[in-house]
């Protein structure tokens, strides 16, 4: 049995993995850069190793990280999401050094990380895909010819993309020509790889994804779907399970399709198959993420299954703890990504010291965070600093509970997306449970709110005054 795990990540997901280890009686080892000396994952893990002064590259140095795993006596490594999570070389280095990689094998990571190869594998397996290129584009002329064949609008996408970057919609030849070089340069900059491909743009789609789990004994199951249609610039803001937008028959269909897709590539460990649902109720494969996802919490909340613990058991060679027919769900869950950003200022990252943090609580509330009062959010990393996951028995109660919890929560000192989430919750369209990926762009008026947060110094002054008043 795995006894000690190196957590090759930072922030809330590192904390999440440490929590799973702790419940399983497994020791955890954190890594940190200078900028993360006071980070929560360092405080929560059993041991922590400094990986240098470079804020970002430290978390990207696979050889160094695996070395630390070996030296500290770990027998496994969890990559989290982002950083090296979908880097096949990390999985290979782990295999060579006899460290169990908590994820699928390097070949599957490589295959599914390449969106063109992934599409081709899915087409071969009989999974519906939107029409598009069967290889990387050789040049803008090839792109134009293909766009003419499949019809505008089309999407130009970075073949190795992730995190919503390197994706552009093109409505005409003119668009395609002006976006072509831009997407290549974005892809090069963000992913170090210039390859791009093209696929038909699904107009006003819903983003529906299926959580799958596969073990080393050939068992593959799904844990239902998540609806991630509330996005800004192709990045998820709110995720919901189950989707309020599909029928039970569609739910069964898409769950089975997810399992079929995972089986087709011999998938092992936790993974997500992302689909688009068009206005005529057709599902199309979009991509597969070969790692734990940010929004796994909503699935855990409705099923009661700890996906991170399941990942660890799978990597340990144990069979899945559940058969498909054992997986039950109850109620609805919704996750809010609380980003340290100023929505009113084009979601500009807002880093700095958290002068006060009040965690929300009460029934049906879960937080996964990496902040605390006095913590300085460093400017080098993702701006997501907290996730709020709400559960309730039905959709209406969920909306009310979510509003209550967001109001309950206090993050002072930096700007956050909390007031913007409250605006979305007030929107009749959102509340109706019918929305597509264009929702945020189509509702600029949701940004017209007055900030309820007192300015940072005032917040500190008020709490100081309260303490004096109470004679504490």
165's tokens? 């970057």
Q: Residue 324 interacts with ligand ADP (CB under 6 A)?
A: no
Catalytic residue among 291, 313, 337, 366: 291
Looking at residue 206, the DSSP 8-state letter turns out to be E
Choice between 133 and 309, CB closer to ligand ADP: 133
338's tokens? 């609380």
Q: Residue 161 interacts with ligand ADP (CB under 6 A)?
A: yes
Looking at residue 393, the DSSP 8-state letter turns out to be S
140's tokens? 């803008």
Please say whether the beta carbons of 221 and 323 come within 8 A: yes
Residue 238: strand pairing partners: 230, 336
Size of the site for Mg ion (CB under 5 A): 1
Helices 307-315 and 296-303, axial angle in degrees (round to 10): 100
The bridge status of strand 348-349 relative to strand 341-342 is antiparallel
At 283, is the secondary structure helix, strand, or coil? strand
Candidates 28-36, 291-299, 386-394, 444-452: pick the segment binding ligand ADP (CB under 6 A). 291-299
Give me the phi and psi of 389, to 5 degrees please: -120, 125
Q: Residue 191 interacts with ligand ADP (CB under 6 A)?
A: yes
Binding partner selected for residue 421 from ligand ADP, Mg ion, none, CB under the kind-specific 5 to 8 Å limit:
none
Q: Residue 258 interacts with ligand ADP (CB under 6 A)?
A: no
Concerning whether 356 is annotated as a catalytic residue, the answer is: no
- Choosing from 293, 297, 299, 417, the residue that interacts with ligand ADP (CB under 6 A) is 293
Q: Residue 130 interacts with ligand ADP (CB under 6 A)?
A: yes
The residue nearest ligand ADP at its CB is 162
Binding partner selected for residue 131 from Mg ion, ligand ADP, none, CB under the kind-specific 5 to 8 Å limit:
none
- Choosing from 48, 51, 65, 82, the residue that interacts with ligand ADP (CB under 6 A) is 82
In angstroms, give the least distance from the CB of 280 to ligand ADP.
14
247's tokens? 């029928």
CA atoms within 13 A on the CB side of 157: 23
Distance CA 128, CA 430 (A): 28
The beta strands (E) that lie in 26-89 are given as: 27-32, 47-50, 76-78
Q: Residue 289 interacts with ligand ADP (CB under 6 A)?
A: yes
Residue linked to tokens 């770990």: 74
Candidates 48-56, 197-205, 397-405, 414-422: pick the segment binding ligand ADP (CB under 6 A). 197-205
Binding partner selected for residue 430 from ligand ADP, Mg ion, none, CB under the kind-specific 5 to 8 Å limit:
none
The beta strands (E) that lie in 154-277 are given as: 154-158, 167-170, 196-200, 206-214, 220-232, 235-241, 269-277
In angstroms, give the least distance from the CB of 288 to Mg ion.
9
Distance CA 373, CA 412 (A): 9
Residue 356: strand pairing partners: 412
Choice between 2 and 230, CB closer to ligand ADP: 230
In angstroms, give the least distance from the CB of 41 to ligand ADP.
15
Please say whether the beta carbons of 236 and 199 come within 8 A: no
* CB atoms near residue 138 (< 10 Å): 9
Choice between 84 and 99, CB closer to ligand ADP: 84
- Binding-residue pattern over the window 334 to 373 for ligand ADP, x denoting contact by CB under 6 A: ----------------------------------------
Binding partner selected for residue 202 from Mg ion, ligand ADP, none, CB under the kind-specific 5 to 8 Å limit:
ligand ADP
In angstroms, give the least distance from the CB of 63 to ligand ADP.
19
Site for Mg ion in 273-292 (CB under 5 A): 274
Binding partner selected for residue 105 from Mg ion, ligand ADP, none, CB under the kind-specific 5 to 8 Å limit:
none
Size of the site for ligand ADP (CB under 6 A): 30
- Helices marked H in 356-445: 395-408, 418-426, 428-431, 439-442
- What is the binding site for ligand ADP (CB under 6 A)? 81-82, 86, 130, 155, 161-164, 167, 191, 199, 201-202, 205, 207, 231, 234-236, 274, 276, 286-287, 289, 293-295, 382, 437
Give the residue numbers marked as catalytic.
291
């Amino acid at each position: 049995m795995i006894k000690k795990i190196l957590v090759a990540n930072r922030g809330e997901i590192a904390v999440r993995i440490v929590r799973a280890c702790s419940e399983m009686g497994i020791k955890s080892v954190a890594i940190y850069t200078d900028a993360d000396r006071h980070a929560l994952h360092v405080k929560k893990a059993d041991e922590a190793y400094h990986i240098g002064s470079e804020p970002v590259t430290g978390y990207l140095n696979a050889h160094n990280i695996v070395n630390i795993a070996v030296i500290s006596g770990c027998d496994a490594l969890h990559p989290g999401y982002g950083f090296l999570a979908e880097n096949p070389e990390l999985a290979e280095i782990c295999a060579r050094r006899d460290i169990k990689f908590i994820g699928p094998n390097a070949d599957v990571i490589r295959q599914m990380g390449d969106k063109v190869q992934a599409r081709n594998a899915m087409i071969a397996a009989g999974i519906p895909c939107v029409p598009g290129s069967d290889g990387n584009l050789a040049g803008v002329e090839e792109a134009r010819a293909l766009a003419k064949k499949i019809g505008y609008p089309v999407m130009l996408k970075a073949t190795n993309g992730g995190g919503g970057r390197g994706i552009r919609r093109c409505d005409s030849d003119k668009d395609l020509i002006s976006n072509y070089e831009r997407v290549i340069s974005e892809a090069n900059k963000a992913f170090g790889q210039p390859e791009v491909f093209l696929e038909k743009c699904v107009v006003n789609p819903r983003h529906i994804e299926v959580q799958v789990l596969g073990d080393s004994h050939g068992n593959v199951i799904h844990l239902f779907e998540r609806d991630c249609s509330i996005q800004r610039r192709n990045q998820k803001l709110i995720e919901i399970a189950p989707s309020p937008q599909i029928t039970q028959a569609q739910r069964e269909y898409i769950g089975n399709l997810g399992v079929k897709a995972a089986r087709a590539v011999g998938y092992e460990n936790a993974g997500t198959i992302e689909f688009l649902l068009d206005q005529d109720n057709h599902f199309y494969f979009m991509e597969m993420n070969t790692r734990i996802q940010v929004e796994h919490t909503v699935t855990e909340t409705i099923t009661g299954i700890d996906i991170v613990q399941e990942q660890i058991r799978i990597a340990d060679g144990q069979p899945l703890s559940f058969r498909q027919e054992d997986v039950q769900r109850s109620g609805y869950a919704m996750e809010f990504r609380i980003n340290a950003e100023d929505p009113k200022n084009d979601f500009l990252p807002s880093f700095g010291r958290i002068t006060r943090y009040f965690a929300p609580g009460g029934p049906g509330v879960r937080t996964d965070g990496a902040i605390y009062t006095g913590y300085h959010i460093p400017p080098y990393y993702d701006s997501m600093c907290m996730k709020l996951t709400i559960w309730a028995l039905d959709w209406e109660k969920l909306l009310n509970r979510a509003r209550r919890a967001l109001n309950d929560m206090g993050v002072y000192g930096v700007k956050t997306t909390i007031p913007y989430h409250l605006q979305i919750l007030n929107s009749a369209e959102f509340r109706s449970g019918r929305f597509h990926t264009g929702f945020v762009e189509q509702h600029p008026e949701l940004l017209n709110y007055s900030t309820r947060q007192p300015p940072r110094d005032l917040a500190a002054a008020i709490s100081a005054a309260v303490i004096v008043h109470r004679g504490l």
